[in-house]
């Protein structure tokens, strides 16, 4: 696992084993993730989405606590996965990072609570699978417009992006901040520190 420039964001490159039969890999290991992050992913929900070329999904995040950490991969096709720091007070607030996920490298990203997530399908039938630390709760879900000029995300030039009604009508980052709907950086750190402490206590007890 490799930590990226936004705190709470990791890139994962699995080791693939190939022979005449095909390929095999461990695409998720809870112990390796916990060692890097400080606590295991409390898996509560697994999602899978299949998108057509040019579809943009996101940018989505959830209120913290409890937020929703995600482990995201693309087993078929390809996407440009984009992660945005939504945490007010963070040194990297408003910054975004992009990682290509595809069915060849089988890379994944781990996204901590308080970070926004979205992606653009670079192929037809782009399949994204993600593990989540909390079940979907509409009352806690938020979205920021993926074309927000202040974010200035460098989306691939694939023509007019295909957005859901929710995403096309989503507010900007500035509007969310004015409405008090953005996660607080220190609150996010306290929440993840509590997860770290709980994992350490469990390990110490045996």
Contact (CB, 8 A) for 68 and 130: no
CA distance 162 to 167: 10
Identify whether 136 is a catalytic site residue: no
Candidates 39, 110, 117, 130; catalytic one: 130
What do you get for the CA distance between the two ends of the chain, in Å? 26
HSE, CB side, 13 Å, CA atoms: give it for residue 149.
Answer: 0
- Centre a 10 Å sphere on the Cβ of residue 196 and count the other Cβ atoms it contains: 14
Identify whether 60 is a catalytic site residue: yes
Q: Does the N-terminal peptide bond of residue 66 adopt cis geometry, omega within 30 degrees of 0? A: yes
**Closest Cα partner for 131 from 18, 13, 48?**
48
- Signed CA dihedral, 187, 144, 66, 177: sign only: positive
Candidates 60, 110, 117, 145; catalytic one: 60
Give the residue numbers annotated as catalytic, written as ranges: 60, 130
């Amino acid at each position: 696992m490799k930590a990226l420039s936004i705190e709470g964001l990791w890139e994962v490159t699995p080791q693939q084993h190939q022979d005449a039969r095909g390929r095999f890999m461990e695409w998720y290991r809870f112990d390796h993730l916990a060692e890097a992050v400080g606590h295991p992913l409390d898996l509560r929900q697994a999602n899978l989405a299949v998108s057509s070329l040019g579809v943009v999904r996101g940018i989505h995040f959830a209120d913290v606590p409890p937020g929703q950490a995600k482990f995201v991969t693309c087993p078929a096709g390809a996407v440009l996965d984009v992660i945005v720091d939504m945490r007010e007070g963070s040194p990297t607030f408003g910054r975004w990072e992009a990682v290509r996920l595809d069915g060849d490298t089988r890379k994944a990203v781990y996204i901590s609570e308080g970070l926004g997530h979205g992606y653009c399908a670079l192929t037809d039938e782009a399949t994204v699978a993600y593990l989540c630390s909390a079940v979907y709760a509409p009352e806690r879900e938020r979205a920021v417009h993926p074309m927000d000029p202040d974010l200035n995300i460098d989306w691939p030039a694939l023509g007019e992006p295909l957005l859901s009604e929710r995403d096309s009508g989503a507010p900007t980052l500035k509007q969310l901040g004015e409405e008090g709907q953005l996660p607080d950086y220190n609150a996010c750190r306290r929440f993840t520190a509590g997860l770290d402490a709980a994992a350490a206590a469990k390990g110490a007890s045996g």
